[in-house]
């Protein structure tokens, strides 16, 4: 009977005790971040059509497919951030790099993990996967993701050249012709810690198109002096054909960010007529207005022509590209899964779909079924049909050389009279870099 | 143990036998009434024994739940004092120092002191910023995600410093002026860019730290998972003591049982002790709210003065022309500078002082809350005394039956 009398008290006490113990044992221990992968990349923007937005859609698809969560670190200074993290002994798992030279340096110093087997090489142009010889064997250290065709000269179709220059002589004549109209070149060197690269691009194109891939690669690989005739002439042309005919003069060129440089081309009155830039301008220009007040349309309102060829050359027409490479610094199963996913045509197509088909992906199958505008199709054709496709020379150079190159361009544009000193300084930097830090690459098809 | 044996045999005779002698009261309330009236003499020792066991168990529950409240209070106070406040103060100090470093560098270049570069004040402030970030890194309060943001900020800070130093390397004259302006603008972008600049990274980090602070404070001594079980257990002890006192009064004609009254007083003492921890946590909560508000205010410090000086430097590099004459990037920068709040260094310093005071308050109150929560020994002692007093209150009655059984 008594057992029944207190049967209310006992469960109550038991419940109180259980609750008390549960509460007492509920700690605040940090939740270890298992099942999470971190990627450092330079793509910002949260609005549809922006690169940051597009990449987030790719990462979301990865999360939906694998259940693996991701962390993004977005910065224009990926290289600097990676170096800082490496110095702290806490490298990111994956990072998007644009410099093959830096990639090779990291690979050779053992900081990168090979991705052999994760990158289906038959889906990429063979040399885009950048096989790097390390310790006697050749390994793949990066997933080629996005390609930018460089050395394009953009113009406003309503106020550009009446006839597109096909040769260097025609371009030089058009660019240096004096007149009261707009300046020839829209130029902006600014890009945070990487300021100066739009100028290095011009010098690279001049060397590549005038002297061909062999000379270009010898220079990019540290085997040709900066004081050589070929290199010096390219710098002089940068000053004479570009610097002297840039919108706003050298101050504006130096103080304008590359993303803002094209605005005067679409302004009224027009400020400049041409811009030497890469294929990503295809989407950049769409934020400007055409004469009827709508968004500028590729093909109808703006177009490009490729960097013109020099007379008497004995090599096939070369083209130049840069590639965004995804490298793995910290090997985890989650990082491997993401690297593998980013190499697929599906992942790369997601980017394309979210940038309106205005990007060019490394995986050959990525653009299958994607509709492009006429200018996009033309760029795609140039990439596909290029007889010789070379990587951006500054991207191949060791980081120290690349930075000095960019600084040199700024100093030259500020004061062209200093060219001999600048080239001497650059050559000193070249001579100071150990031979094994230079990357020996060939241009490919 | 005669009576016990009798009762057992009566019970073991089955429900029918019990019903024949006296029908069992139906329902819990009826059973409670029957218990208080002590209707069944033969069950008294069992009731005494059960009440005692229940009282002791409830006392253990009060001890466990009270300790849980104290532990939560201690844990929260400790986390706020040793992790959240140092992390927040580290990042706030770094942010303040960076804004001041930027202004100092621009000021130094504006006065044309090329030989001293960005100036001693710049380097001092950068050193303070690095120290602040190091202090924040030691806290580990926002987990791996927070550490990653911290590393990003530290990496960008290195590049920022390099760009400012680079600006000092250019020669005098027009050429040097424009290159210097370019470097300083790149550095400034890296610091102020709302999409991934150093200050934006630090703001993001502060948001994480504030969220972690709120979580720590919310999981403290006032958390319902701690307070509700403790209140229930305390009520159970009080109820059991009250029931026992009434039972003794009716069954044994003892109006007052001194030991049980003492146990009630001890329960009040224990309640005051644990309540003190909860009260201290209230003050910690208020300090934390003040700190969150101060951090919010601190984020409005944008270093407008440094930005305005930089714009002047750029204008000089462009030949004193209007913003439009210096290209689209400078024109957009001019618009951003014009839109900055009209604050000067003194305003920023005031905000910094208020934030500093809020952090000191939070640190002090978290230390107080930690000390207030350092009462486990008292909780143990009071719980033991309640149990002892309860036992002593029961002992004479239990002895009566022990003697009878002999």
Query: B249-287, pLDDT tens digit by residue?
Result: 888 877 788 999 999 999 999 999 999 888 888 888 888
Instruction: Give residue B36's pLDDT band: very low, low, confident or very high (50, 70, 90).
Output: low
In the prediction, which pLDDT does B26 show? 57
Contact in structure between A264 and A177 (CB atoms under 8 Å) = no
Whether pLDDT at B74 is above 50: yes
Least confident of A69-83, B32-46, B346-360: B32-46
In the prediction, which pLDDT does A29 show? 34
A:239-278 residues touching chain B, CB 8 A cutoff:
247-248, 250-252, 254-257, 260-261, 263-264
B:337-396 residues touching chain A, CB 8 A cutoff:
none
| Average pLDDT score, chain B | 81
Using DSSP's 3-state secondary structure scheme, residue A231 falls into helix
A:195-224 residues touching chain B, CB 8 A cutoff:
195
Chain B neighbors of A21, CB-CB under 8 A: 64, 68
Instruction: Give residue B9's pLDDT band: very low, low, confident or very high (50, 70, 90).
Output: very low
In the prediction, which pLDDT does B32 show? 57
Instruction: Give residue A14's pLDDT band: very low, low, confident or very high (50, 70, 90).
Output: very low
Whether pLDDT at A27 is above 70: no
Whether B47 and A5 lie within 8 Å, measured CB to CB: yes
* Percent of chain A's residues with pLDDT above 90: 61
User: Which tops the pLDDT comparison, A90 or B161?
Assistant: B161
| A214-239 residues labelled b (16+ CB within 10 A) or e (exposed) | ebbbbbbbbebbbebebbeebbebbb
Domain A18-148+322-372 has CATH 3.40.190.10: yes
Q: A241: which residues sit within 8 A by CB, 6+ positions away?
A: A171, A172, A175, A176
**3-state SS of chain B?**
CHHHHHHHHHHHCCHHHHHHHCCCCCCHHHHHHHHHHCCCHHHHHHHHHHHHHHHHHHHHHHHHHHHHHHHHHHHHHHHHHHHHHHHHHHHHHHHHHHHHHHHHHHHHHHCCCHHHCCCHHHHHHHHHHHHHHHHHHHHCCCHHHHHHHHHHHHHHHHHHHHHHHHHCCCCCHHHHHHHHHHHHHHHHHHHHCCCCCHHHHHHHHHHHHHHHHHHHHHCCCCCHHHHHHHHHHHHHHHHHHHHHHHHHHHHHCCCCCHHHHHHHHHHHHHHHHHHHHHHHHHHHHHHHHHHHHHHHHHCCCCCHHHHHHHHHHHHHHCCCCCHHHHCHHHHHHHHHHHHCCCCCHHHHHHHHHHHHHHHHHHHHHHHHHHHHCCCHHHHHHHHHHHHHHHHHHHHHHHHHHHHHHC
| Average pLDDT score, chain A | 87
Instruction: Give residue B399's pLDDT band: very low, low, confident or very high (50, 70, 90).
Output: confident
pLDDT digits (tens, 9 = 90+) for A94-103: 999 988 888 9
- Cα distances from A83 to residues A86, A91, A407, B126, in angstroms, run 5, 8, 20, 19
**Mean pLDDT in residue range B167-196:** 88
**3-state SS of B132-185?**
HHHHHHHHCCCHHHHHHHHHHHHHHHHHHHHHHHHHCCCCCHHHHHHHHHHHHH
Instruction: Give residue A78's pLDDT band: very low, low, confident or very high (50, 70, 90).
Output: confident
Of A23, A85, A414, which is closest to B225 when you measure between CB atoms? A23
Contact in structure between B226 and B68 (CB atoms under 8 Å) = yes
Whether B35 and A5 lie within 8 Å, measured CB to CB: yes
Of A20, A88, A415, which is closest to B233 when you measure between CB atoms? A20
pLDDT digits (tens, 9 = 90+) for B224-246: 888 999 999 999 999 999 999 98
In the prediction, which pLDDT does B144 show? 78
Using DSSP's 3-state secondary structure scheme, residue A326 falls into strand
User: How distant is the Cα of A193 from the closest Cα of chain B, in angstroms?
Assistant: 7
In the prediction, which pLDDT does B19 show? 37
Instruction: Please state the φ and ψ torsions of residue B26, each to the nearest 5 degrees.
Output: -90, 140
Instruction: Give residue A314's pLDDT band: very low, low, confident or very high (50, 70, 90).
Output: confident
User: What residue has token string 């305003």?
Assistant: B347
Mutate which of A3, A5, A416 to disrupt the B interface (most B C-beta within 10 Å)? A5
In the prediction, which pLDDT does A247 show? 93
User: Which tops the pLDDT comparison, B137 or A205?
Assistant: A205
**Mean pLDDT in residue range A128-145:** 83
B317: nearest CA in chain A?
A251
Chain B neighbors of A23, CB-CB under 8 A: 65, 68, 72, 223, 225-226, 229
Contact in structure between B48 and B340 (CB atoms under 8 Å) = no
In the prediction, which pLDDT does B29 show? 65
Whether A85 and B163 lie within 8 Å, measured CB to CB: no
Question: Is A73 part of the contact surface with chain B (CB cutoff 8 Å)?
Answer: yes
In the prediction, which pLDDT does A4 show? 45
Whether A75 and B196 lie within 8 Å, measured CB to CB: yes
Query: What's the predicted TM-score (pTM) here?
Result: 0.80
In the prediction, which pLDDT does B20 show? 39
B197: nearest CA in chain A?
A75
Whether pLDDT at B75 is above 80: yes
Task: Fill in the DSSP letter of residue A376.
Answer: H
Structural tokens at position A189:
């060197």
CA dihedral for A215, A217, A223, A227, sign (positive or negative): positive
| A306-344 residues labelled b (16+ CB within 10 A) or e (exposed) | bbbbeeeeebeebbbbbbbbbbbbbebebbbbbbbbbbb
pLDDT digits (tens, 9 = 90+) for B99-141: 989 999 998 888 876 667 888 889 999 999 999 998 888 877 8
Whether pLDDT at B41 is above 60: no
Question: Is B266 part of the contact surface with chain A (CB cutoff 8 Å)?
Answer: no
Distance between CA atoms of residues A300 and B231, nearest Å: 76
Whether pLDDT at A222 is above 60: yes
In the prediction, which pLDDT does B321 show? 56
Helix (H), strand (E) at residue A97? strand A94-97
Whether pLDDT at B322 is above 80: no
Least confident of A363-372, A397-406, B397-406: B397-406
Distance between CA atoms of residues A220 and A393, nearest Å: 5
In the prediction, which pLDDT does A148 show? 93
Using DSSP's 3-state secondary structure scheme, residue A272 falls into strand
Whether B47 and A88 lie within 8 Å, measured CB to CB: no
Label residue B111 exposed, middle or buried (CB < 10 Å: 0-12, 13-18, 19+).
exposed
* DSSP per-residue letters across A378-441: HHHHHHHH-SEEEE-HHHHS-HHHHHHHHHHHHHHHH-GGGHHHHHHHHHHHHHHS-GGGS---
* ipTM confidence score: 0.83
Task: Fill in the DSSP letter of residue A264.
Answer: G
Whether B50 and A2 lie within 8 Å, measured CB to CB: yes
Whether A23 and B163 lie within 8 Å, measured CB to CB: no
User: How distant is the Cα of B291 from the closest Cα of chain A, in angstroms?
Assistant: 21
In the prediction, which pLDDT does B137 show? 85
In the prediction, which pLDDT does B31 show? 60
User: Which tops the pLDDT comparison, A32 or B94?
Assistant: B94
A8: nearest CA in chain B?
B28
Question: Is B159 part of the contact surface with chain A (CB cutoff 8 Å)?
Answer: yes
User: How distant is the Cα of B113 from the closest Cα of chain A, in angstroms?
Assistant: 21
């Amino acid at each position: 009977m008594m057992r029944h009398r207190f049967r209310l008290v006992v469960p109550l006490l038991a419940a109180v005790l259980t609750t008390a113990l549960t509460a007492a044992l509920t700690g605040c221990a940090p939740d270890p971040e298992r099942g999470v992968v971190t990627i450092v990349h330079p793509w910002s923007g949260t609005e549809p059509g922006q690169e940051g937005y597009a990449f987030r859609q790719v990462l979301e698809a990865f999360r939906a497919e694998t259940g693996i969560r991701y962390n993004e670190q977005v910065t224009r200074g990926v290289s600097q951030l990676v170096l800082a993290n490496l110095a702290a002994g806490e490298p990111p798992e994956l990072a998007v790099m644009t410099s093959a030279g830096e990639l090779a340096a990291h690979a050779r110093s053992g900081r990168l993990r090979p991705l052999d087997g994760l990158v289906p090489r038959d889906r990429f142009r063979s040399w885009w996967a950048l096989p790097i010889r390390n310790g006697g064997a050749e390994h793949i250290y990066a997933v080629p993701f996005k390609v930018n065709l460089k050395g394009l000269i953009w113009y406003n179709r309503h106020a550009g050249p009446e006839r597109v220059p096909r040769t260097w002589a025609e371009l030089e004549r058009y660019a240096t012709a004096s007149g009261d109209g707009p300046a020839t070149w829209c130029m902006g060197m600014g890009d945070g810690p990487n300021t100066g690269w739009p100028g290095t691009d011009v010098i690279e194109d001049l060397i590549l198109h005038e002297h061909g891939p062999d000379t270009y690669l010898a220079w990019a690989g540290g085997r040709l002096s900066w004081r050589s005739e070929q290199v010096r002439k390219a710098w002089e042309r940068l000053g004479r054909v570009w610097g002297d005919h840039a919108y706003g003069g050298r101050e504006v060129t130096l103080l304008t960010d590359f993303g803002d440089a094209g605005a005067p081309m679409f302004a009224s009155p027009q400020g400049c007529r041409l811009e030497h830039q890469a294929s990503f301008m295809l989407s950049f220009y769409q934020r400007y207005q055409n004469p009827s007040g709508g968004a500028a349309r590729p093909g109808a309102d703006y177009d490009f022509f490729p960097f013109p060829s020099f007379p008497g050359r004995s090599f096939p027409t070369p083209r130049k590209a840069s590639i965004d490479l995804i490298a793995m610094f910290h090997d985890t199963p989650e990082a491997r899964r993401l690297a593998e996913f980013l190499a697929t045509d599906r992942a790369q197509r997601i980017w394309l779909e979210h940038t309106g088909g205005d990007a060019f992906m490394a995986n050959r199958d990525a653009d299958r079924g994607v509709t492009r505008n006429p200018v996009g199709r033309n760029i795609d054709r140039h990439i596909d049909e290029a007889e010789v496709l070379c990587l951006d020379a500054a991207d191949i150079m060791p980081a120290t050389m690349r930075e000095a190159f960019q600084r040199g361009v700024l100093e030259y544009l500020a004061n062209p009279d200093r060219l001999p000193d600048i080239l001497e300084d650059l050559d000193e930097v070249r001579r100071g870099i150990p031979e094994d830090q230079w990357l020996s690459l060939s241009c490919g098809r | 143990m005669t009576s016990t044996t009798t009762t057992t045999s009566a019970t073991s005779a089955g429900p029918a036998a019990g019903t024949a002698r006296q029908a069992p009261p139906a329902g819990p309330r009826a059973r409670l009434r029957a218990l208080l009236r002590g209707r069944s003499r033969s069950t008294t020792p069992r009731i005494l024994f059960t009440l005692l066991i229940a009282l002791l168990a409830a006392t253990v529950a009060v001890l466990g739940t009270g300790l849980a409240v104290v532990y939560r209070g201690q844990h929260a106070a400790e986390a706020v004092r040793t992790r959240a406040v140092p992390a927040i103060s580290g990042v706030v100090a770094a942010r303040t120092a960076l804004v001041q470093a930027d202004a100092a560098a621009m000021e130094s270049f504006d006065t044309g002191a090329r030989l001293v570069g960005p100036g001693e004040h710049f380097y001092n402030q950068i050193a303070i910023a690095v120290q602040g970030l190091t202090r924040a890194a030691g806290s580990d309060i926002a987990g791996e995600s927070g550490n990653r943001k911290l590393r990003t900020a530290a990496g960008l800070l290195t590049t920022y410093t390099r760009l400012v130093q680079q600006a000092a390397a250019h020669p005098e004259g027009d050429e040097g002026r424009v290159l210097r302006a370019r470097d300083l603008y790149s550095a400034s972008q890296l610091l102020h860019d709302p999409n991934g600049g150093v200050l934006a990274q630090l703001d993001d980090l502060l948001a994480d730290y504030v969220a972690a602070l709120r979580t720590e404070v919310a999981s403290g001594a006032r958390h319902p998972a701690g307070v509700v079980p403790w209140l229930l257990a305390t009520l159970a002890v009080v109820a059991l003591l009250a029931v026992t006192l009434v039972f003794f009064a009716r069954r044994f004609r003892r109006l007052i049982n001194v030991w049980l009254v003492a146990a009630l007083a001890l329960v009040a003492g224990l309640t005051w002790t644990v309540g003190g921890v909860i009260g201290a946590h209230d003050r910690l909560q208020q300090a934390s709210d003040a700190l969150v508000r101060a951090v919010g205010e601190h984020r409005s410090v944008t270093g407008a003065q440094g930005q305005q000086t930089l714009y002047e430097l750029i204008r000089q590099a462009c030949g004193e022309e209007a913003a439009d004459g210096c290209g689209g990037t400078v024109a957009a920068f001019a618009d951003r500078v014009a839109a900055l709040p009209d604050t000067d260094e003194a305003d920023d310093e005031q905000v910094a002082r208020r934030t500093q005071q809020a952090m000191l308050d939070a640190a002090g109150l978290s230390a107080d809350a930690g000390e207030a929560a350092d009462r486990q020994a008292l909780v143990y002692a009071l719980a033991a005394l309640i149990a002892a007093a309860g036992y002593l209150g029961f002992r004479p009655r239990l002895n009566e039956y022990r003697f009878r059984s002999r």
